[in-house]
Amino acid sequence: MPQHFDAIVIGTGQGGSPLAVRLGENGRKTAVIERATFGGTCVNVGCTPTKAYVASARAAHVARHAAAWGVQITGDITVDLARVKARKDEIIGQSRRGVEKWLRGATNVSVFNGHARFAGAHSVRIEARDGQPAQDLEADEIFINTGTRPVIPTLPGIEDIRYFTNSTLLDLTTLPEHLVVVGASYIALEFAQVFRRFGSRVTVIVRGERVLTREDADFAKSLQDVFVREGIEFRFGANPTRLEALGGRGGDGTAVRVHLAGDAPPLDASHLLFATGRRPNTDDLGLDAAGIEVDKHGLIPVDGELRTKVPGVWAIGDVNGRGAFTHTSYDDFQVVAANLFEAERTGERRSVDGRTMVYAVFVDPPLARVGMSETEVRQSGRKALIATMPMSRVGRAREKGETAGFMKTLVDADTKQILGATILGVDGDEAIHTIIDTIKAGAPYTTLMRAMHIHPTISELIPTLLEGLKPMV
């Protein structure tokens, strides 16, 4: 007979873990199932390890350029990747152990290790990792939080080479001589800059004519210029057609020749990284048995309250197509929990339908975005105001010696509501929150423009930026 629970949570990512605990705290007998490592993508192969690498890379970069701040460092600056990895592993371990301890100690929560597959709309079979017999569970409420994995393109020769993803590249203990990155979006650019600052030669293969196609062209070009100054090479309009192993030239079987379309010369890489997107982990969950459909990308359609078409089943986090970030996954948890446990008392139901998208690209300087881009505003046809300001006008940026980038904001000319903003510049990932909060509050841009900010900070120039709004033509 299946074990009966009030709720089952599949996955322990940034949405699933706190939801399992909240369910238990509210008297729900809850099962939480993890087939791999606790903490999900963010803790294990996403935010936590990559930002640890970003920090190490920045330390090396600052040390190499210390003379610009009047600091003399003698000798070559080198990076011990094994020590960088060890530091990263310790940070991951602390977080992973913390999540597991939290879940195992939570009230009314039972933790299961293994691969969960639906056996019906409200039943799950767990295939244990350690060879133990399968276990059958059932529950009135099931929450899917299984995350994503890297997309690997289908290319001739790929079965004959050793390639890397954002996960496996983090296992290296020796620096690549020449890292070739296929892809030009967030993950690709973060790794490109990190390993260039570590000391590797880095070439980025871009299928189109520019990086970061989701952003306005001026921001993409500005960031590209930063990368070129740091010695990162780009191959634009390049389409890999075939991969060829180069025997022992990489020392560990990693050397690859990347053949490109047309007359473009091939690239020889000591290490090849594919950063060509991610796909949801939904194809091995037995969703057909539950009557749960997915779209052409493998995403589970949900309504504004994150419910699937099957009553009593929710999908949260990266698998639902409502945002592929840690903060959107956590917000999913907050929406679901509020509707389950607070709506009756408050009379208010929460929805992700009106959520303003926010994110950052954690390159250096970071690029942070909230709401609409200039391109999107122009496509909407609405009457708008626009303002831009170079980071060279920001006193704190000049004092830090980091003036690359600029700010841009867009405002609805009639309602005075901020439509969106992007900041490419030092501490932009923090400064953007003043605009995020203003948008969330539904306040006109004048509220932020008239606020008194602390000097000297990056944020203090945002009111000045808003003072420069002009009609967009």
352 in any annotated domain? no
- Is 45:88 a contact under the CB 8 Å cutoff? no
Q: What is the pLDDT of residues 219-264, one digit of tens each?
A: 999 999 999 999 999 999 999 999 999 975 444 679 999 999 988 9
Nearby residues of 89 by Cβ (< 8 Å), 6 or more positions away: none
Q: What is the pLDDT of residues 373-391, one digit of tens each?
A: 999 999 999 999 999 999 9
β-pair partners for 10:
33, 144
β-strands 109-113, 30-34: how paired? parallel
Q: Examine the domain organization and report whether 7 and 136 are in the same domain.
A: yes
Q: Examine the domain organization and report whether 175 and 250 are in the same domain.
A: yes
Give the SS3 label for residue 460. coil
Give the residue from 209, 206, 157, 216 showing the smallest Cα distance to 185.
Answer: 206
Residue span of the structural domain in which 235 resides: 158-276
Phi/psi of residue 259, nearest 5 degrees: -85, 140
What pLDDT sits at residue 252? 67
pTM comes to: 0.95
What pLDDT sits at residue 250? 44
- Is 84:56 a contact under the CB 8 Å cutoff? yes
Residues recognised as catalytic: 455
What pLDDT sits at residue 247? 73
Q: Examine the domain organization and report whether 13 and 140 are in the same domain.
A: yes
DSSP state of 282: T
- Is 183:208 a contact under the CB 8 Å cutoff? no
**Identity at 151, one-letter amino acid code:** V
What pLDDT sits at residue 156? 96
Going from the first residue of the chain to its last (473 residues), give the mean pLDDT of each consecutive group of 10, the final group possibly shorter: 96 98 98 96 95 98 96 95 98 97 98 97 90 92 97 95 96 98 97 98 96 97 98 96 79 87 94 96 97 97 98 98 95 98 96 96 98 98 98 97 98 98 98 98 98 97 98 97
Q: Examine the domain organization and report whether 58 and 182 are in the same domain.
A: no
359 in any annotated domain? no
Query: Could you tell me if residue 320 is left (phi over 0), alpha (psi between -120 and 50 degrees) or otherwise beta?
Result: alpha
What pLDDT sits at residue 129? 72
Can you give the CATH number for the domain in which 331 is found? 3.50.50.60
What pLDDT sits at residue 130? 72
Give the SS3 label for residue 407. strand
